[in-house]
Structure 1
Amino acid sequence: MDYVHWIFLAIYIVVIIMVMVRVLMDNRQPAKTMAWMLVLTFIPMLGIILYFFFGQTTRKERKIWQYSIDQLTKRSMLEFVEQKRLHLPDEYRMLIKLFMNQNWALPFKNNETEIYTSGYEFFPSLLMEIGKAEHHIHLDSFIISDDPLGQIVADALIDKARQGVEVRVIYDDVGSWKTKNRFFDRMRAEGVEVHAFMPVRFPVFTSKVNYRNHRKICVIDGEVGFIGGMNIAMRYVKGTGKLAWRDTHVKITGAAVYGLQRAFLVDWFFVSQVLITDRSYYPASIVGENDCIVQIVTSSPTSLWPEIEQGYVRILASARHYVYMETPYFLPTEPILFAMRTAALSGVDIRLMIPYETDTKIVEWASRSYVMATVKAGVKVYLYKEGFNHSKLLVTDDTMATIGSTNVDFRSFENDFESNAFFYDKDVALQVKAIFLKDQEECVVLEDVRNLTHRSFLQRLWESMVRLLSPLL
């Protein structure tokens, strides 16, 4: 029976070669291709399983029908062309056009904003706006936890559904894996339309487990919207010290809510195959004339281009004075790392804020070599110690800022469905700058942390080995 083993080995080798050819033909970044080649070569059997679950690319697969995007864009386009006296800032005209050309992310003026830096500020505001809803509530969240806060939000949504308000909820099936089905079934039983994003059920969709909806969007009556980094979970309103979660979210009132609405309705068509384009979901703006321009930009593994990554590169390349960034995970793609180092070496004040300790040790290890590479180029790195800083924000030159769900890592730029609001407004930029500087007071400078700057050879070797997996994390 020894020949059986040889047959099995031959089949295995053929499968490995076929998978490697598939990886090569995807034409990904060389670093990511090499990472998968190493996994397939040196981790027998498990490597193929990992590729099946986490490695298959969807960028070439248009899982969201182009027809739905075209229809939803036509509606928001009508509102865009009706804007009067829209003046795009000269220094960001090319950035705005970049986003428009990628996926019709349209800039809208006449907006008001309110920024929240803790759950104690954000969730009361969210619940208040839900309570005022008269026509519809659209909620899209990576995590909706079955905890006291999740129960309060669910009760508020059920109450509005009983009043005849249309309530639609999208949650990510993997992000919310700890939340039992009965939590969502209770909402469904009360008239709330609830869908899981790309549910993972073996064998259907199993190979797409790596591509998740990381967005955090809420739209109320098409007039008020929320976007940022906070999920629906108690972690944002409890805990002190290392247990505290620090995050940033923003409420937008005005015309830019059309962009949030379009983002949600594209996702809704994805999960329900129901196309919603009625004008009632795009009401007239309730905000008076002003020059606060906001652009809602989404990115996903189904897009032809990595939209938000390209935007970040453009911002870093065109910055004149400074770029301040906060991200909970720092595993930058090569274009981002190159842009950061180039800007810093050009004399631009580049500051990067990351947590002193993350919630994922392997990501923390993998990120250290990247962090050190930026420091060598003159990037100032700050480690936030008052809890886990989960914020995803960027501000540059006192004139432009962005807040959203996008981390500075491979996963956000390449694998996840993300959304960010880009603000072309001095007042908003100065608010975000003030938030960064306040957070900076709770940080230590990387150079002052001896256990990071004076690591042993074995520590550095381990970090370099883990870095090889960073495109897969």
Structure 2
Amino acid sequence: EYLGLDPSIGRWRDTHVQLEGPAVLALQKVFAEDWLHATGELLQDPGYYPNFEPAPGDCIVQVLDSGPDRRWSPIAYYQNHMFALARERLWITSPYFIPSPSLEEALVSAALRGVDVRLLVPAKSDHRLVTLASSSYYPNLIEAGIRIFEYERGFVHAKTTVVDDWVASVGSANMDLRSFHLNFELNAFVYGEAFVRDLAEQFERDLEHA
């Protein structure tokens, strides 16, 4: 399904990151919690927890997860907080964009205060109903000054966000209520100018095919 083998959609464009250092402990914590939720088994064997070797780096990484085992979504809450703090740019890539009222309001508010808000979505989706639902939000967003781009070089499946020069996120959560409240999702929020710059440059390269 995710190998880009559907000729009607074409190649898949995705974004992944490899985490090293203390952030790995956060990933391990999420895995253990999800395993407990799914199986009822608490992973207590010391073999599951090898000695931790710190890795040098110049980024701070915050790992957040959401799912049906939570009353509220940390990912959605923090994304809205990021959007409220944006002052220069807010660049979002999302294959499935069906925003909640609060998310839509946060994007519109950012655009109205002069933030460069850009949204990159697929021109062709693997779920036509999602495309129709997403496009119903476009008129209101465009009226507020948000620029929407449709990726045409296959299917963009990346879920990334760039906020100014100080933080960017990569993860599995889409901009929709299903991701925030029904699915088990995880996003890494990375604080570091070099990483943010790399993700912004990738966004600009994607726009060349939109």
TM-score tier after normalising by the smaller chain length? over 0.9
Matches within 5 A, 1:46-125: none
Larger Rg: 1
Count of residue correspondences: 209
Query: Structure 2 CA distance, aligned partners of 1:432 and 1:330?
Result: 20
Q: Paired residue for 1:234?
A: 3
Query: Structure 1 CA distance, aligned partners of 2:70 and 2:182?
Result: 10
**Residues 119-173 of structure 1, C-alpha deviations (whole Å, 9 max, x = no match):** xxxxxxxxxxxxxxxxxxxxxxxxxx7xxxxxxxxxxxxxxxxxxxxxxxxxxxx
**Residues 412-448 of structure 1, C-alpha deviations (whole Å, 9 max, x = no match):** 12221110011011111111111101101110xxxxx
- Residue number among 180, 183, 194 corresponding to 1:416 in the alignment: 183
Q: Paired residue for 2:112?
A: 345
Letter of the structure 1 residue corresponding to residue 167 of structure 2:
M
Q: TM-score, normalized by length of structure 2?
A: 0.93
Q: Paired residue for 2:16?
A: 249
Query: Structure 2 CA distance, aligned partners of 1:428 and 1:277?
Result: 35
How far residue 305 of structure 1 moved from its aligned partner, in angstroms, is 1.6
CA contact (8 A) 2:37 2:69 kept: no
Q: Paired residue for 1:441?
A: 208
Matches within 5 A, 1:192-211: none
Q: Paired residue for 1:49?
A: none
Query: Structure 1 CA distance, aligned partners of 2:51 and 2:187?
Result: 22
- Higher RCO (C-alpha under 8 Å, 6+ residues apart): 2
How far residue 279 of structure 1 moved from its aligned partner, in angstroms, is 5.4
Q: Paired residue for 2:170?
A: 403
How far residue 282 of structure 1 moved from its aligned partner, in angstroms, is 5.1
1:266 aligns with 2:33: yes
Q: Judging changes above 3 Å, is the alpha-carbon distance between structure 1 residues 434 and 240 closer, same or farther for their aligned structure 2 residues?
A: farther
Matches within 5 A, 1:139-154: none
Q: Paired residue for 2:55?
A: 287
How many percent of aligned residue pairs carry the same amino acid?
Answer: 36
1:428 aligns with 2:189: no
CA contact (8 A) 1:240 1:387 kept: no
How far residue 240 of structure 1 moved from its aligned partner, in angstroms, is 7.2
1:375 aligns with 2:108: no
Q: Paired residue for 1:392?
A: 159
Structure 1 residue runs of 5 or longer lacking an equivalent are 1-144, 146-232, 444-473
Q: Judging changes above 3 Å, is the alpha-carbon distance between structure 1 residues 282 and 315 closer, same or farther for their aligned structure 2 residues?
A: farther
Letter of the structure 2 residue corresponding to residue 270 of structure 1:
H
Q: TM-score, normalized by length of structure 1?
A: 0.43
Letter of the structure 2 residue corresponding to residue 266 of structure 1:
E
Query: Structure 2 CA distance, aligned partners of 1:340 and 1:282?
Result: 42
Q: Paired residue for 2:102?
A: 335
